[in-house]
Amino acid sequence: MAKQKLNTTEIDKMIDLREHGYSLSEIKHITGKAQSTVYRYIKNVKILPEYISVWESKRGGSYKIKRRKEESAFEDGKKLIGKLSNREKLLFLCALYWAEGSKKDFGLSNTDPGLIQVFVSNIRELLNIEDSRLRISIRIYEDLDKDKCLSYWSKIVGIPKDKFVSVNILSGKKKGKLEYGMCRIRVSKGGDILKKINGINKAIRKLYAPIA
């Protein structure tokens, strides 16, 4: 999409509004221009000192509104979920594995600690997997603190860090990556479990695509 071309008057108006503490969304509404266009012209504009407090109050208000919406969504989510049955937990585990699991063995890798916790908790509870069968490893970048990452994931999975099977250190920096790298969970001798999970997912797929 081609960039919108503005005349000097339009640009000056955007700059003036920004200097007076107007937000990006406000300037967009006032000028009727695309958000990307507005941002391009105001991103380096400094707000005048006498309007800083106005600007900060708007930012705080937006943050509070965002937090209220997030908290409301969380409460709605809790009400919707209620108390999950083992069947529902198993189906959730299967869906999670379908999306993120390994196709060759019963294992899963991810950078999201919440996802890892849900996976480990469910295989312990629903599949009766003992910790002795869990093979935990992490993948980190060379500029990350190895011991700090091990301690972090150890707490997440509830397995002592000296029981982790490996730490794979990648060359490069962590820019754009999670601070603690990636954790991989694999269950030893998990072939039968993998068949069971894949069987459930195949049955689910047939419900939506019976011919496939």
Using the predicted structure, report yes or no on whether residue 1 has a pLDDT greater than 60.
no
Distance CA 48, CA 187 (A): 59
Buried b (16+ CB within 10 A) or exposed e, 9-34: ebeebbeebbbebbbeeebbeebebe
Q: Quick one: what percent of the chain has pLDDT higher than 90?
A: 58
Average of pLDDT values for 85-98? Answer: 95
H/E stretch holding 136: strand 134-141
Give the model confidence (pLDDT) of 24-82 as tens digits: 888 898 998 888 899 989 989 988 888 888 777 776 666 677 778 888 999 999 999 99
How would you classify residue 145: left for phi > 0, otherwise alpha for psi between -120 and 50, otherwise beta? beta
* pLDDT at residue 69, rounded to an integer: 85
- The model scores a pTM over 0.85: no
Distance CA 103, CA 94 (A): 13
Q: Are 141 and 177 in contact (CB under 8 A)?
A: yes
* pLDDT at residue 151, rounded to an integer: 96
Q: Are 197 and 93 in contact (CB under 8 A)?
A: yes
